[in-house]
């Protein structure tokens, strides 16, 4: 199968690249140092249609496919991993859950404002005591007439403090463990709903991360997404799609590290020659370029299967696993090529290195990906 981009996707790529060169490149370092969420730039992405990538056009979105998501996220990540994570999580997790499992009325209620960037979405699965172990989820939702009462806490939530519309996974049948989880929409300002920022992260520092606290938050039944006790099954589909985006994010970081290191290797001289003339440096660049291209092909394959309506769980996990580990290797080599300068904030490769680590943790750790792949190949 040929994974070369067609003209429509190439035009999307050019648009994002120009936007990043104009609005992101010069500012990303400052956002990172200040842990500043670039709200205005995010809003601009919304006006360009990149916060409603997969939302149907009749609901205000761009109506694009998974391949377009991968192109957009990769290009953003080449310049700023944090911004790419914001776009990936908003589209794939919060908005994505509503788009895939909401009723027509729910989609009309929430998606137009999310697609335009007027409001931001977030998705709440992880808790202080449960990450990979969804069965350990402790947030509860108790039915009370035509309403539900939610109580619990979530942590490491992307868009946790800047978000407006939250998809919260809660236990509705605790005895069923992960098979008794249901999804609900909670909106900013709901009584008993609190948001607290998390600071001091290693990387992705200008992506907003927060804790959510729910103290008997009352939501009507029309805020329930999907069937009761079916939330975890739905979540698996959300994560499959999200792993394509995180794989693309890893590719973007690896590509950024490679392009920065290649440029440096052409300019920096040692022993009277550009350091790229030395085989040790050239071999590192060769490995970076080869692995980055291989990772991109895995991401594109998973996206193509998703767009074709074919099973892609295994392919998404392979793409996410490989791309995230390639990102770590590529960014480490980029720092090595930069030498002592790579260990400073004068060059962006140290930021790429810090950002890349999240790709091995978020949307299911590398260990979880290997479990998923193992199960799939063994049937």
Nearest to 352, CA basis, from 230, 254, 282, 213: 254
The two tokens of residue 206 are 């200008």
Nearest to 123, CA basis, from 176, 65, 64, 163: 163
Q: How far is CA 111 from CA 190, 236, 292, 351, in A?
A: 19, 21, 34, 33
Does the annotation count 147 as an active-site position?
no
Q: Beta-carbon neighbour count of residue 188 at 10 Å?
A: 15
Cα–Cα–Cα angle for 112, 182, 305, nearest 5°?
Answer: 65
Residues 6+ apart with CB under 8 A from 224: 148, 182, 183, 184
Q: Beta-carbon neighbour count of residue 22 at 10 Å?
A: 10
Q: Which residues pair with 147 in a beta bridge?
A: 144, 220
Q: How far is CA 281 from CA 251, 261, 265, in A?
A: 21, 9, 8
The two tokens of residue 114 are 């999310």
Catalytic residue (one of 7, 147, 363, 367): 363
* Phi, psi of 14, deg, nearest 5: -65, -40
H or E stretch covering 187: strand 181-187
The SS3 of residue 253 is: helix
Nearest to 82, CA basis, from 208, 253, 207: 207
- From the number of C-beta atoms within 10 Å of its C-beta (0-12, 13-18, 19+), residue 179 rates as middle
Nearest to 373, CA basis, from 288, 316, 314, 302: 314
Distance CA 15, CA 7 (A): 12
Contact 107, 99 (CB under 8 A): yes
- In this structure, the chain runs to a length of 379
Catalytic positions are 363
């Amino acid at each position: 199968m040929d994974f070369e981009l067609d003209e429509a996707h190439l035009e999307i790529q050019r648009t994002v690249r120009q936007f990043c060169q104009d609005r992101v490149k010069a500012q990303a370092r400052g956002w990172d140092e200040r842990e500043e969420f670039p709200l205005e730039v995010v809003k601009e992405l919304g006006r360009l249609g990149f916060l409603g990538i997969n939302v149907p056009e009749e609901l205000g979105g761009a109506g694009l496919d998974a391949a377009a998501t991968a192109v957009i996220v990769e290009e953003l990540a080449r310049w700023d991993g944090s911004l790419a994570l914001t776009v990936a999580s908003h589209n794939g997790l919060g908005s994505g859950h509503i788009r895939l499992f909401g009723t027509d009325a729910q989609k009309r209620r929430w998606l137009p404002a999310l697609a335009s960037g007027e409001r931001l979405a977030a998705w709440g699965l992880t808790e202080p005591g449960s990450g990979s172990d969804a069965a350990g989820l402790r947030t509860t939702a108790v039915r009370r007439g035509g309403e539900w009462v939610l109580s619990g806490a979530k942590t490491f939530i992307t868009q946790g403090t800047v978000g407006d519309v939250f998809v919260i996974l809660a236990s509705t049948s605790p005895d069923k463990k992960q098979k008794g989880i249901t999804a609900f929409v909670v909106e900013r300002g709901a009584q008993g709903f609190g948001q607290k920022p998390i600071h001091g992260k290693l990387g992705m520092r200008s992506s907003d991360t927060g804790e959510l606290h729910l103290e008997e938050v009352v939501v009507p039944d029309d805020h329930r997404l999907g069937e009761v006790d079916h939330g975890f099954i739905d979540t698996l589909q959300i994560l499959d799609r999200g792993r394509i985006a995180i794989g693309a994010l890893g590719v973007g970081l690896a590509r950024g590290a490679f392009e920065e290191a290649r440029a440096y290797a052409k300019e920096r001289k040692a022993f009277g020659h550009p350091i790229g003339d030395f085989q040790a440096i050239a071999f590192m660049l060769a490995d970076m370029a080869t692995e980055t291209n291989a990772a991109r092909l895995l991401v594109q394959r998973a996206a193509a299967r998703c767009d074709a309506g074919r099973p892609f769980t295994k392919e998404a996990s392979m793409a996410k696993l490989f791309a995230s580990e390639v990102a770590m290797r590529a960014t480490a080599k980029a720092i090595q090529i930069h030498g002592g300068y790579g260990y400073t904030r004068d060059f962006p490769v140290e930021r790429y290195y810090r950002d890349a680590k999240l790709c091995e943790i978020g949307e299911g750790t590398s260990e979880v990906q290997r479990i998923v792949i193992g199960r799939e190949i063994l049937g």
